[in-house]
Amino acid sequence: MKQEIKKLVRIGLMIVSVWLIIHYWENAIALFAKIFGAAFPLLLGGMIAYVVNLVMGAYERVLTPKKEKKLWLRLKRPVCMALAFGSVIVGLYLIIGITLPELARCIGLLLEKLPPAIEKAWAFLEDKLNVSETFPELAQKLNSVDVRSIVNEVWGVVSKGVGGAVDIVLTAATSLFSGVVTAFLSLVFSIYLLADKEKLLAQFNRLIAVYMKKEHARKLRYVLKILNGAFHNYIVGQSIEALILGSLCMLGMLILGLPYAPMVGALVGVTALIPVAGAYIGAAFGAFMIFTVAPVKALVFLIYLIILQQLEGNLIFPRVVGSSLGLPGLWVLAAVTVFGGLFGIPGMLIGVPLSATAYALIKENVNQREKEA
C-alpha cells in the first residue's frame, strides 16, 4: 500500500511539474538562462580542467620515476599542472598568433584588389561577349554601381565602426572586463579541480553510495565511464590527427611553393578538430588567403588538400582514431548536423562524443534485451 501511495505521489508531482513548466515556460527559460549565466564560469572551468587534465596526466606518467621520493610526491602535481597549462597556452598562442594577423592582412588586401578585379572582369565580358547588348538592364544596373565606394564604405565600417564612439568604447570595455573576470574565475576553478581531483572523485563516490541504490549507483558510474572514454578518445585522437594533417599540409605547401604555408597548415590543423565540416572550413579559408596573392596557386592548393584529405580519411584517421569512438560515419554526420545547427561550432565538437556515448549505451541495452528475450 505504501509503495502504491509513493508511486502515485511521484506521478502527481511529475504532472504538476510538467504543468508548471508549460504554463510558465517563458519564466522558466529566463530562470534557466540566469542560472546558466551565473554558473557559466564554473562550467567553463570544468571544461578547461578536463582538457588540461589530459595533458597533465601525460606529464605525470612520463615524469614518474620508479622510486618516488617524498619531495617529488608533493611537487609532482603542481609541476605537471604548470607544464600542462603552459603547453596549452603556448599552443593556443602560436595558433592565434600565426593565423589571425595574416587573415586580417589578407582581408584588407582582398578589399584593396577587389574593385579593379571586378572592373577588369566586366571589361573582358563586355569585350568578348558584348554583355551590354545581350543584357541591357543588368549592364545598366552594374554600371550605376560604384564598386570602389562600396568597398571603401564596408572597409570603413569594419575598421572604424559606426555609431557613437563613446557607446562603442563603453560596450567594448564592459565586455572586456566581463570576459576577463569570467576567464579568471574559470581558471581558478579549474586549478582547484585539478589539484584535488582524487579527493573530489572520492567525495562524489561517497555521495552516490549514500543517496542512491547500489544498482542505480553502478549504472551511473558505468554511464559516466562510457562518457569519459568517448570524450577522452575523441579529444586525444582528433588532436593527434589534426597535428598530423596540419604538418602534412604545411610540408606539402612548402614543397609546392605555395604562400602562407605555416599559417594555412596551422589553420587546417585547427579546423580538422571539427569532424566532417572542418575540412571544408579549412579549405575555404586557406584558398581564400592564397587567392589574395596568387589565384592560380589557390587552385593548386585545393587540389593538393583534396588528395591529402583522401589519404587522411583512408589511412591516417583509421590508424590514429580508429574505431575508438564506435560511432558509424552516418551517425557522425547526423551528430555534426544536428548539434551544429543547435549550438554552432561548439555543438559540432561535443556532439560526436555525446552521440558515441548514447550509441554505445543503446547498443549494449539492445544486445542485453535480445539475450534475455
Q: Which three-class secondary structure string do you get for 38-86?
A: HHHHHHHHHHHHHHHHHHHHHHHHHCCCCCCCHHHHHHHHHHHHHHHHH
Amino acid letter, 222: Y
Q: Is residue 44 part of a domain?
A: no
Q: What pTM does this model have?
A: 0.69
Looking up cell 588567403 gives: 289
Indicate whether 224 belongs to any domain.
yes
Distance of alpha carbon 200 from the chain centroid? 27
Cell output for 299: 587552385
Q: And the C-alpha cell for 67?
A: 622510486
> How many whole angstroms separate alpha carbon 164 and alpha carbon 166?
5
62 domain residue, yes or no: no
Domain count, the chain: 1
Task: Say how many CA atoms lie within 13 Å of 157 toward its Cβ.
Answer: 5
Q: For the chain, which ranges sit under pLDDT 50?
A: 147, 157-166, 168-170, 172-173, 322
CB contact at 8 A, 289 and 99: no
Predicted local distance difference test score (pLDDT) of residue 170 = 45
The end-to-end CA distance of the chain, in Å, is: 31
The answer to whether residue 286 is domain-embedded is: yes
CA 32 to chain centre: 24
- Residue 165: its pLDDT value, please? 44
d(CA 288, CA 294): 10
Q: Is residue 240 in a domain?
A: yes
Distance CA 32, CA 53 (A): 29
Which conformational region is residue 63 in: left (phi greater than 0), alpha (psi within -120 to 50 degrees), or beta? Answer: alpha
DSSP code of residue 312? I
Angle between helices 295-311 and 214-256 (to 10 degrees): 140
The answer to whether residue 282 sits within a structural domain is yes
With both helix axes pointing from N to C terminus, report the angle between 70-129 and 165-195 in degrees, rounded to the nearest 10: 140
Query: What is the tens place of the pLDDT at every residue in 192-210?
Result: 999 888 898 899 989 998 8
Query: Is residue 291 one of the residues assigned to a domain?
Result: yes
E strand spans, 93-242 = none
CA atoms of 273 and 256, how far apart (whole Å): 25
Domain encompassing residue 264? 211-373
217 inside domain: yes
Q: Rounded CA gap, 315 and 317, in Å?
A: 6
